[in-house]
């Protein structure tokens, strides 16, 4: 599975990058001849949340909660975790991108003179942002850095990251994002772990990557998971993926390879073997039964 942050860092020739601790800001230009992803559909993950503004082009983010068609002018906040990215080979993709870890967001929000009010709004993996005048002014101020040959001071970059978070949090139209911010600051770690797993079980992440998303070492992740879920992460993931695959098989337009990919299995043979052990029938046989 492609690590989004590592992919950007490995290709400085396609972007101007400024780092501030674990946070990263980049103006990323992906022309037709210089794509990071060579397939139309690529599974991608990031250990940090990210905010981006699409300058030009189009991609579709497919998540466990739905699909999001992001085009020129789209501005979104995407939770850390995995997605399937669909790209279009006739156009490039250019964006201003910010990677921001949980801890930095929480520390910044704690500095607000008025605490974040608890919201009851549901939030998805991809959260559309309201592009008001203040946010547009912020992106305009950032663009000046990329035109300058001198790299800005780290302290100034940190202030710009904090300005972005506080600007987003100060806009009441960003109710969905504010609800997510509240969960980052206040929900118990056990609830956070369950939410992250439910949002990402259908992607082919390794246990080490799930542990990183849950802000735990691998051993602590396995221990805490067993305590909360009363089973091992491996067994839980297999059951969730098989149940998801069973639902996808009802869609006649998806072949077995596509069902395996969209359910988080490493390959079709692993999927078919696991499916047969669980349901005592092949995916093709179950599909025929469902359609009869």
Question: Do 60 and 70 form a contact (C-beta atoms < 8 A)?
Answer: yes
pLDDT digits (tens, 9 = 90+) for 200-222: 999 999 999 999 999 999 999 99
pLDDT digits (tens, 9 = 90+) for 3-15: 988 888 887 777 7
Alpha-carbon span 113 to 108, nearest angstrom: 11
pLDDT digits (tens, 9 = 90+) for 160-176: 999 999 999 999 999 99
Question: Do 80 and 49 form a contact (C-beta atoms < 8 A)?
Answer: yes
Q: Which residues, 6 or more positions from 98, have their beta carbon under 8 angstroms from its beta carbon?
A: 23, 24, 25, 50, 51, 52, 161, 164
- The token duo for 198 is 């439910």
Q: Which domains does the chain have, with CATH numbers?
A: 2-186 (2.60.120.280), 189-291 (1.10.10.60)
Q: 247-277: b or e for each residue (b if 16 or more CB lie within 10 Å)?
A: ebbeeeebebeebbbbbbbeebeebbebbee
pLDDT digits (tens, 9 = 90+) for 5-64: 888 888 777 777 888 888 877 765 555 444 555 678 888 999 999 999 988 888 999 998
> CA–CA distance from 272 to each of 64, 178, 211, 247, 266 (Å)?
22, 42, 27, 15, 11
């Amino acid at each position: 599975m492609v690590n989004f942050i590592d992919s950007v860092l490995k290709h400085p020739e396609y972007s101007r990058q400024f780092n501030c601790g674990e946070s990263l800001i980049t103006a990323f230009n992906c022309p037709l001849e210089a794509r990071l992803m060579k397939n139309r559909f690529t599974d991608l993950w990031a250990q940090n949340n990210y905010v981006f503004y699409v300058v030009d082009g189009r991609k579709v983010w497919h998540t466990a909660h739905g699909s999001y068609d992001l085009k020129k002018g789209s501005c979104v906040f995407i939770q850390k975790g995995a997605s399937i990215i669909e790209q279009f080979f006739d156009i490039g993709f250019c964006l201003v991108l910010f990677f921001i870890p949980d801890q930095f967001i929480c520390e910044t929000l704690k500095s607000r003179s008025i605490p974040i009010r608890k919201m009851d709004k549901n939030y998805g993996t991809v959260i559309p942002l309201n592009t008001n005048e203040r946010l547009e002014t912020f992106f305009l101020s950032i663009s000046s850095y990329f035109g300058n040959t001198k790299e800005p001071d780290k302290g100034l970059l940190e202030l710009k990251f904090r300005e972005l978070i506080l600007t987003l949090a100060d806009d009441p139209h960003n109710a969905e994002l504010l609800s997510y911010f509240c969960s980052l600051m206040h929900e118990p770690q056990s609830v956070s772990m369950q939410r992250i797993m439910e949002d990402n079980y259908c992607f082919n992440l390794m246990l080490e990557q799930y542990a990183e998303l849950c802000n735990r070492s691998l051993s602590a992740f396995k221990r805490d998971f067993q305590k909360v879920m009363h089973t091992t992460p491996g067994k839980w993931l297999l059951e969730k993926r098989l149940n998801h695959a069973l639902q996808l098989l009802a869609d006649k337009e998806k072949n077995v390879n596509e069902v395996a990919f969209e359910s988080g299995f490493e390959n079709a043979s692993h999927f078919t073997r696991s499916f047969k052990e669980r349901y005592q029938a092949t995916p093709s046989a179950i599909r025929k039964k469902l359609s009869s």
